[in-house]
Amino acid sequence: MTERLHRLETTFQRYPIYFVTACTHDRRHLLADIAIQTRLLEFGKEGEMRGDWLGAYALMPDHLHLFVAIDDSRANLSTWIKSLKNSLSKSLRESGVPGPHWQKGFFDHLLRSDESYSEKWEYVRQNPVRAGLIGNADDWKFLGTVFRLEFHNASVR
């Protein structure tokens, strides 16, 4: 087994934008659910106070994709993902879904250009279509955006 490359400890942007994928434990179908989406939106909207901004996201049955900008002077990506997973797991437990809910770890990519953001978002948008869940990406109700992230100066609106 090859060792995964380590995450960068230092970035050269105050608000780097990450593309993140996290999967459920044993790829259980837990996430394409209105209660989970509601909790994700609450968590995302609360982020501004913590120095993190949830951008576009897609909840698939067994994984999620999202973009997040984090004030790297206040938090780090691993801590943020742990907090997000805990928050969503709390909703699952309240709904009677026993754990474990998540695979260990997550996959991330530090975005380097606006073009990369656009390409990755289109990939995310089309994910439910590729999975055969719907015929048109606009029909998937578990897609959305909390904050509009802009790469060119890593600003948030």
Both structure tokens of 68: 């997040």
pLDDT score, position 11: 43
Mean pLDDT of the chain: 87
Which amino acid, one-letter code, is at 21?
Answer: T
DSSP state of 73: T
Mean predicted confidence (pLDDT) in 47-53: 90
Which amino acid, one-letter code, is at 70?
Answer: I
pLDDT score, position 142: 98
Alpha-carbon separation of residue 100 from 24, 27, 81, 85, 145 (angstroms): 8, 11, 16, 11, 27
pLDDT score, position 117: 83
Q: Quick check: 109 and 19 in contact, CB under 8 A? A: yes
Q: Is the pLDDT of residue 61 over 90?
A: yes
Q: Is the pLDDT of residue 106 over 90?
A: yes
pLDDT score, position 83: 96
Tens digits of residue pLDDT in 3-39: 544 444 444 456 789 999 999 999 999 999 999 999 9
CATH number of 17-156: 3.30.70.1290
pLDDT score, position 75: 72
pLDDT score, position 3: 52
pLDDT score, position 89: 98
pLDDT score, position 50: 87
